[in-house]
Chains A and B, each alone.
Chain A
Amino acid sequence: MTFSKRLWFLALSVFTIQAYASSPVKVVTSTTDLAWAVKEIGGAHVEVQSLLKGTENPHFVDAIPEFIRLVSEAQAVVIVGLDLEIGWMPKVLTRSGNAQVQPGGKGYCEAGRAVHVLEKPTGDVDRSMGDVHPSGNPHFWLSPKAFAQAAGPIAQTLIAVDPAHTADYQVGARRFTELMEEIRKKNAAKLHSLIASISGPVLMEYHKEFAYFLETYGLRSFGSVEEKPGVAPSAGRLAEVALAAKGAGVRFVLAGETAPKKTLEKFTELSAMPVAVVPMSVQPHAKVKDYPAFQEYLVDTVAKQLGSRTL
């Protein structure tokens, strides 16, 4: 090989390595909320794609082949965990043939593993109790306080797959935690005076999925319309719980967009109580296009319900 050929070969190698090194880390997340968090923490060093759009119920999703393709090309996969995606994500990961993002791989991240979990059952759990999560309530992203705790595992995963930008990811995680606290403070201020004058329960949930949100903002819940999680309430249960909620002075019912509309209508008919239906995740192509907007929407919805009634 002549000297000039060697020079060309060296230049080409350096260019190739440089191009690879500077290309952003490909991250796939299960939910839109996590996608937003990864982008906040990783900044320009990451290219993020969410498998879900924010309108689905993340418990009940199929292992869509397109998900498998996206995961096969990812350098990191970030999921909620706590059994939220157990019905489909294991199949997606396995069929991707991508060892790096499967459990045990350096690009696999369960964001929920660092979260202080609420509603973790203590006794025996079986399916006669409904859709109980043995690992605890997985809907932590609904609270900025709990969501902040996911920053650790996300940053650790990004560092593992892209150690060259360790310092940036650490700074990103710290900023993310601070931003979550800002969001919490700003929204808590909106609700403070409205809640202060109410002594009893403020609201009911349709399905027990708002635990983190309620705890963060000090909202007292009367319980859930569902008798058993994930099981549609019977007509008898609806009548019974409607009467009890009315008697307790509950102001309204908070429900996710995937809750059954007819059941909610029936409940309103029986209780004369309004139902506030809210998105359960960031929806990049709708009004709650990022996490601050999503939190604001949730809190404004609650504030509107409380403010519109004589306290």
Chain B
Amino acid sequence: MENTRSLYFFLFIALALAYVSAPAASDGSGLKTSVGLDVVGQAGLNSTSGASDRLDVREFEVMLYAPADHLFDGMGSIAAHYEGTGIPQVELHEAYLGSSKLIPRSRFRAGQYFLGIGRLNQVHRHDWPFISAPKVHKEFFDAEALLDTGIEYSYLLPIPHFLEVTAGVTNGFVYGHDHSAGSRPLVPTNYLRTVTYFSLPWDGGTQIGLNYLGRRGGEGTQRTILGVDLTAKWKEGALLNFLLQSEIWYRVLTPKGGTTQKAFGLYLYPQYYLGENLFLGLRVDYYSVLNLTDAFGSPVKSVELNFVPTVTYRPSEFSSIRLAYNLKPEFQGGASTTGHHLELQGVIVLGAHPAHDF
């Protein structure tokens, strides 16, 4: 009942905002509305696939953004999605004010937002080049992205090379996908990212980010995450001929009075343009708990892999259809399993679409 009420509320708000933004677009306020629809289906091919075996609206997101005045900008997005309950959940994704005009070479935002770290965490899920999050992203952040309420500041260094530093602090009452109020952390979520860019031969370019995130939860667990993200592109006209995207992460989790867990994971995704609006990519995921032990304290091997060939049909920047096959071998101690499943995704973007980062 509660969920149905929130769904109606969401639809009311979304339609009302879309209604008011239509004339607003021409009244000089610059208010823009964007709607993203992301439909995903999974079909298991064996008993260990872990697939949902259903087609779901993964996300229906309504986003509004505009300059508030000559100094500040505002942005808000709300989304409805199924989270395995069969009932759509409605949640606030982003709601923040910001400015890139107050302090030279700087920008900041305050409110709720997807934290400015890594690559996937900063891109809306319907704009990812593949369907589902790699294991390392799910484990360290979220199946979608890590969001929280706080303040983030970015500064572009005054040197003859692109080097931007971003630092942020968020409440940290919750971490990851959590609808509860959470509890006061001992140390709030804090993060730092440095990003740079290099030109590559044949009109290519690559962006490399170094990332740090820390938090000590109310229960005393210390979380430290370090990582590198890399995005390289070679474009010709409107076509992205070749994309290479990767993130490598390392996490140390130390529960109060407990044993420290160290985990490492990465994904690597090369994607090639085949022609006729078709792209072929292969994502390789690796995830391992480095110091897993059995009841006797002996080291236990723990490795999860995923090979995800993905075909994307993208007739324009506003729609795409994707098909992916997941081959997931897992090794835990002496045992091993291999899951197989297929994924299908359809994405459309209606209305305005904000300009993209590199």
Contact = CB atoms under 8 A, between A and B. Distances in A.
A66 B356 CA distance: 15
A72 B355 CA distance: 18
A265 interface: no
Contacts of B296: none
Interface stretch (A34-42, A55-63, A110-118, A281-289): A55-63
Contact of A87 (B107, B156, B275, B355): B355
Interface string A95-110: 1111100111100000
A65 B355 contact: no
A86 B353 CA distance: 10
Contact of A95 (B100, B104, B199, B354): B100
A89 interface: yes
A95 B233 contact: no
A127 B318 contact: yes
A198 to B, nearest CB: 31
Given A65-B164, A72-B156, A57 B238 contact: yes
Interface range, B side: 35 or more
B102 to A, nearest CB: 8
Contacts of B155: 97
A59 B207 CA distance: 21
A72 B195 contact: no
Contact of B358 (A62, A97, A230): A62
B325 to A, nearest CB: 28
A237 interface: no
Interface string A258-288: 1000100000000000000000000000000
A57 B239 CA distance: 10
B162 A63 contact: no
Nearest to A259: B237
B100 A64 contact: no
B291 to A, nearest CB: 37
B237 A57 contact: yes
B179 interface: no
A88 interface: yes
A305 interface: no
B161 A69 contact: yes
A97 B355 contact: no
A94 B277 CA distance: 30
Interface of A: 56-57, 59-66, 68-69, 72-73, 86-99, 102-105, 127, 131, 230-232, 258, 262
10 contacts: A59-B238, A62-B358, A65-B196, A86-B355, A92-B355, A95-B100, A95-B357, A97-B104, A97-B107, A99-B101
